[in-house]
């Protein structure tokens, strides 16, 4: 996490006057003031934290940061803070400040809210749509096992993980661990390997899951400055060989899970799928997983899955395939992707599993109850818009198009849990005007992309 702070006394005074905050305790009265109860309690810090959490005003948040940073700077410059008690009090105050600052982060010149705290309650998000699964059941090719996340309990942390955690330090790569369920439904299963405990004898599926998770981590770290899904370097855990013939991959709110597939769906540790599922961890439960908001949830994961693959391969927008799960569907000698962001509705067309049902225009939006209200179906609409926008911008799609989508997702409370596609389109335009006010080509390309899919 990179926190970019400015420190000016005038900003502090203006901020305090404008918001009637208790002035921050200054240390020029001596070490006794630091050791006092007032300094420890720091009501101003509490007020600042509340302002950061509740305010929609990015300028106010910046001023909050300015006030806190200037206060810290003054504390650190005082030479007479030599008493142990005073230093302990100072450490306590610093912890409070760090906690406050963790609600806000700056990426380049853009104010971005840190990932939401509510992550583990996310609805299980699958990569293979229910309508494909149902087709597989109809042709007796599916051997899917029932997934009951709520009935599963995790094992005790293995010794290898404890050992890895012991020498894992802040600033290093987060722990990326791989388990195997041995075709059972127990999670996380048996520990196999991690980036800190290499195992040369693991099978190719576990190795692909490990390599893919590392590639996903490197994408988020280098493209947007995030370490792990929560921005805090938390463990990235995956389980392979889940169930018997389990033909899906998912994020269950705690970890990623990969089945071995069956006669129709295979290779579920393909990189864009890993990137897609990790994308659900990034979004968390910020967007309800049903209807249009659920389609936007799936759309965002498709964006991240595609961008991870493009980043890994060094591809520009015009070089990328824009396919999600390329080659995952196997029908005889033919293979198909799960989805196409470039051409929704044209990923596959087979008499066995039917035709790709994704629309590419809002006028054809699916309004039925299947697929949780079309979360995998209607995601084709914003997918097409993102592709058109990225293609018009040119270059590497994660640098501008992806950044704009990331800022839209993470800036304040811009997106409501039940956000519609029209509201999301408006939010991206608002974000572009705010963060890129003079990039008129971006504004035009973005509006044209949304117009092309019936949303502007």
Residue 414 lies in a domain: yes
Answer whether 295's CB lies under 8 Å from 378's CB.
yes
Report the pLDDT value the prediction gives residue 78, as an integer from 0 to 100.
47
Q: What are 264-322's pLDDT values in tens digits?
A: 999 999 999 999 999 999 999 899 999 999 999 999 999 999 999 999 999 999 999 99
Rounded Cα–Cα distance for residues 119 and 228 (Å): 12
Residues 6+ apart with CB under 8 A from 425: 382, 385, 450, 455, 456
User: Is 321 found in the same domain as 229?
Assistant: yes
Do 74 and 158 have their domain in common?
Answer: no
Residue 243 and residue 216 share a domain: yes
Percent of the chain whose pLDDT exceeds 90: 59
pLDDT band at 66 (very low <50, low <70, confident <90, very high): low
pTM of the model: 0.69
What is the pLDDT at residue 20? Answer: 39
pLDDT at 354: 93
Band (pLDDT 50/70/90 cuts) for residue 381 is very high
Distances in whole angstroms, Cα of residue 290 to Cα of each of 349, 426, 427: 26, 20, 19
State the sign of the Cα–Cα–Cα–Cα dihedral 38, 44, 45, 46. Answer: positive
pLDDT digits (tens, 9 = 90+) for 222-268: 999 999 999 999 999 999 999 999 999 999 999 999 999 999 999 99
Residue 109 CB burial class (10 angstroms; 0-12, 13-18, ≥19): exposed
Which pLDDT score, from 0 to 100, does residue 456 have? Answer: 77
Asked whether residue 92 is assigned to any structural domain, the reply reads yes
- HSE at residue 268, side-chain half, CA atoms within 13 A, is 27
Query: Do residues 28 and 148 share a domain?
Result: no
CA distance 205 to 197: 17
Q: Which domain holds residue 365?
A: 125-452
Identify whether residues 180 and 218 lie together within a single domain: yes
The region of weakest confidence among 36-50, 201-215, 300-314 is 36-50
Distance CA 385, CA 406 (A): 15
Do 166 and 51 lie in a common domain?
Answer: no
Looking at residue 12, what is its pLDDT?
39
Residue 172: the pLDDT is 76
Per mean pLDDT, which range of 89-103, 152-166, 185-199, 386-400 is the poorest? 152-166
Q: Do 284 and 169 share a structural domain?
A: yes
Residue 388: is its pLDDT beyond 90? yes
115 within domain boundaries: no
Across the range 175-182, mean pLDDT stands at: 98
Tell me how far CA of residue 401 lies from CA of 142, 321, 392, in angstroms: 38, 16, 10
| CB 144 within 8 Å of CB 243 | yes
Q: Are 278 and 171 part of one and the same domain?
A: yes
- Provide the domain count of the chain: 2
Q: How far is CA 262 from the centre of its chain?
A: 29
Here the tokens at position 383 are 């997918």
Tens of pLDDT, residues 405-455: 999 999 878 999 999 999 999 999 999 999 999 999 999 999 999 999 999
**242 backbone dihedrals φ, ψ, rounded to 5°:** -85, 125
* 211 within a domain of the structure (yes/no): yes
Other C-beta atoms within 10 Å of 32: how many? 12
φ, ψ dihedrals at 375, nearest 5°:
-65, -35
> How far apart, in Å, are the Cα atoms of 394 and each of 18, 385, 433?
44, 14, 19
376 part of the active site: yes
Task: Give the C-alpha distances (Å, rounded to integers) separating 207 from 234, 238, 247, 260.
Answer: 20, 11, 19, 14
Which tens digits make up the pLDDT trace of 335-357? 999 999 999 999 999 988 999 99
Cβ(178)–Cβ(199) under 8 Å?
no
Nearest to 152 by CA among 236, 233, 213, 239: 239
* CA-based torsion, 49, 54, 60, 62: positive or negative: positive
Question: Domain check: are 78 and 144 in the same one?
Answer: no
Residues 235, 143 within the same domain: yes
Query: 376-411 b/e with 16+ CB inside 10 Å = b?
Result: bbbbbbbbbbbbbbbbbbeebbbbbbbbbbbbbbbb
116 within some domain = no
* Statement to judge: residues 35 and 177 lie in one domain: no
- The answer to whether position 319 is within a domain reads yes
191: domain CATH number is: 1.10.390.10
Catalytic-residue membership of 361? no
Residue 412 pLDDT: 79
The domain boundary residue, chosen from 54, 78, 107: 107
Kindly tell me if the per-residue pLDDT of 196 is higher than 80.
yes
pLDDT at 275: 98
E strand residue ranges, 141-235: 176-180, 190-194
Same domain, 144 and 92: no
Residue 236: strand, helix, or coil = strand
Element (H, E) at 26: none
Please name the residues in contact with 327: beta carbons below 8 A apart, sequence gap of 6 or more: 267, 270, 335, 336, 337
Model pLDDT, residue 311: 98
Taking residues 94-117, report their average pLDDT: 44
**Within-domain flag for 387:** yes
The rounded mean pLDDT for the chain is 77
The answer to whether residue 288 sits within a structural domain is yes
- Of the candidate ranges 135-139, 185-189, 225-229, 446-450, the one whose mean pLDDT is the lowest: 135-139
Find where tokens 């979004």 sit. Answer: 283
Give the residue, 5 or 218, on which the prediction is more confident: 218
Among the listed residues 51, 144, 277, 326, the single catalytic one is: 277
Q: Which of the following is catalytic: 217, 241, 280, 376?
A: 376
Q: Which of 107, 137, 155 is the last residue of a domain?
A: 107
């Amino acid at each position: 996490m990179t926190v970019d702070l400015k420190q000016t006394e005038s900003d502090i005074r203006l901020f305090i006057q404008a918001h009637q905050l208790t002035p921050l305790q200054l240390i020029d009265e001596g070490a006794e003031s630091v050791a006092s109860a007032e300094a420890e309690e720091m009501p101003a810090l509490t007020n600042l934290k509340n302002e950061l959490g509740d305010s929609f005003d990015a300028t106010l948040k910046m001023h909050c940061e300015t006030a806190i940073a200037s206060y810290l700077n003054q504390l650190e410059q005082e030479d007479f803070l030599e008493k142990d008690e005073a230093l302990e009090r100072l450490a306590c105050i610093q912890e409070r400040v760090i906690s406050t600052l963790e609600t806000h982060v700056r990426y380049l010149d853009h104010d971005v809210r840190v990932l939401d705290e509510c992550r583990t309650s996310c609805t299980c998000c699958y990569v293979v749509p229910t309508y494909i699964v149902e087709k597989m059941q109809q042709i007796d090719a599916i051997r899917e096992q029932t997934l009951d996340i709520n009935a599963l309990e995790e094992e005790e942390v293995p010794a290898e993980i404890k050992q890895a955690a012991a020498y894992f330090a802040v600033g290093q790569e987060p722990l990326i661990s791989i388990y195997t369920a041995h075709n059972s439904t127990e999670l996380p299963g048996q520990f196999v390997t991690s980036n800190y405990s290499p195992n040369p004898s693991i099978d190719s599926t576990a190795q692909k899951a490990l390599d893919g998770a590392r590639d996903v981590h490197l994408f988020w770290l280098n493209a947007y400055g995030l370490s792990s899904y929560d921005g805090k370097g938390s463990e990235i855990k995956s389980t392979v060989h889940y169930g018997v013939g389990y033909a899906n991959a998912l994020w269950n709110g705690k970890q990623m899970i990969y089945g071995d597939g069956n006669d129709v769906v295979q290779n579920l540790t393909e990189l864009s799928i890993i990137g897609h599922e990790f994308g659900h961890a990034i979004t968390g439960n910020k967007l309800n997983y049903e209807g249009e908001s659920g389609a936007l949830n799936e759309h965002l994961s498709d964006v991240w899955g595609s961008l991870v693959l493009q980043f890994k391969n060094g591809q520009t927008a015009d070089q990328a395939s824009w396919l999600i799960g390329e080659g995952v569907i196997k029908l005889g000698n033919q293979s198909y992707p799960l989805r196409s962001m470039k051409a929704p509705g044209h990923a596959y067309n087979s008499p066995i599993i039917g035709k790709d049902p994704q629309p590419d225009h809002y006028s054809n939006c699916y309004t039925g109850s299947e697929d949780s209200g079309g979360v995998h179906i209607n995601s084709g609409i914003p997918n097409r818009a993102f592709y058109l926008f990225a293609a018009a911008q040119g270059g590497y799609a994660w640098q501008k198009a992806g950044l704009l989508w990331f800022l839209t997702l993470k800036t304040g409370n811009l997106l409501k849990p039940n956000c519609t596609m029209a509201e999301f389109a408006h939010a991206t335009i608002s974000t572009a005007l705010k963060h890129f006010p003079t990039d008129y080509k971006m504004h035009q390309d973005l509006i044209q992309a949304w117009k092309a899919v019936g949303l502007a």
